[in-house]
Structure 1
């Protein structure tokens, strides 16, 4: 309850800040929507030249993309730690965080939240709805619960991977390009893994499991039986990778010696 109360206090302060600069907030939201629209248009252009991609038709690919947007929106809203190394390690703000009686990762997540990214959830649901209607998909009442569990699992996978990368800063304060590179790799999870070679499929499934953010959980709702088995592993992979990230974070905090020389 203590952390839940803190969350609402942080969120309240964040919204006050964003409403102070309304135009800037609207521009950010529009920019995100434009980026998502460009990716959707790319899919539509590809399917003007082919009827299927790796055995998946156009509406299935669109559905996968829409599903991907939902956990990604949650991740972007609450785990915005792209600049952790530079801001908290190099500039020494980690020292400030560690003086407070609240878990350091929770503080950083709250300080870096971007609630406007939650609009991606709406966009994803709309895109999924469009594709589902075209596919004539039918859903049971419990599919809503399964959807929520898989979305949270996908968001935790993203969070686990990027938090783990951020912890490198506890051992090395040198600037690296791993974050942008990992972001580019994560984009492969928007599409069916069977369109890639076997090595990439293995990496996207077991090493950097971005496939569990998009194609695997989406295959459950698309009734793709050959991939449903993987879909059930989505929450498991989310818990596993997020748990690893928390362990690495707590270990890294103990190694941290401050911003001085």
Structure 2
């Protein structure tokens, strides 16, 4: 683990050096992403002007849900940006380089790109959570904070594994970007309570495309209590299962890839 952390630090340092070669472009892109996040927050503000509650969730609880989702999807935003290029690597044959160094191929592939623009998502999550917590009638104690951190940690595996699974379809269909785009768009549904959907979509977003596990079920557990232990165990098992499935898909895909043949 220490070896991989040291290597990761060196790779990220080189990545930042390459980005700093075009500083204006780098900072403009960050400003643009921050602007996009504020547009989304403005859309929420407009919604809250006419709607006080959505399926018994008041606007502060929904804002808290939105902030949790932003935090949960942050690791994927930071570390998985290179997934969008997997199909191109497979088509051009440049993916072969990931077999030729004494490193785990998934680690090597993902570590090449570090999306610092995700800072905009971090800022958005902080703003939403701070405003929501300041207005909710919810008494935070030490155990609630520990529960929040624990659930956030495992919830982040859900969206990460979904993107990884979508990306690894490239090993079988090559052009995986439409699948990635579809998966990326699904994350918008994580910002709303699952109770707004029909029973069919609730099942779909819980057991097949687990969008509800990114934020709704963890936040519902934090705010409304219930079977906390059962919920924690269920989210932990689901997160480990999905991330294991994503890694298995990567291993099977890399095992079958034979290059471009040229």
TM-score, length of structure 2 as denominator length? 0.90
2:213 aligned with 1:225 = no
Moved more, 121-130 or 227-236: 227-236
Alignment of 1:42-191 (within 5 A): 42-174=43-175, 177-191=178-192
Native 8 Å contact 2:67 2:125 kept in 1: yes
Moved more, 58-67 or 86-95: 86-95
Q: CA deviation at 1:230?
A: 4.3
Determine which structure has the larger helix proportion and give its number: 2
Q: CA deviation at 1:226?
A: 5.7
In structure 2, distance between residues paired with 1:146 and 1:31: 34
Superposed CA offset, 1:148-175 (max 9, x none): 3222222211121111122222223245
2:23 maps to which residue?
22
SS at match of 1:48: helix
CA RMSD of aligned residues (A): 2.1
TM-score, length of structure 1 as denominator length? 0.91
Q: CA deviation at 1:47?
A: 2.3
1:193 to 1:18, Cα distance in 2 relative to 1, 3 A? same
1:207 maps to which residue?
208
Native 8 Å contact 2:64 2:133 kept in 1: yes
Native 8 Å contact 2:70 2:124 kept in 1: yes
In structure 1, distance between residues paired with 2:164 and 2:170: 10
2:251 aligned with 1:250 = yes
Q: CA deviation at 1:139?
A: 1.8
Instruction: List alignment gaps of at least 5 residues for structure 1.
Output: none
Superposed CA offset, 1:159-210 (max 9, x none): 2111112222222324551111121122111111100111111111111111
Native 8 Å contact 2:87 2:177 kept in 1: no
Native 8 Å contact 1:78 1:115 kept in 2: no
Moved over 6 A (4+): none
Superposed CA offset, 1:2-34 (max 9, x none): 111111111211222233333222222222222
In structure 1, distance between residues paired with 2:183 and 2:241: 19
In structure 1, distance between residues paired with 2:190 and 2:90: 30
1:69 to 1:161, Cα distance in 2 relative to 1, 3 A? same
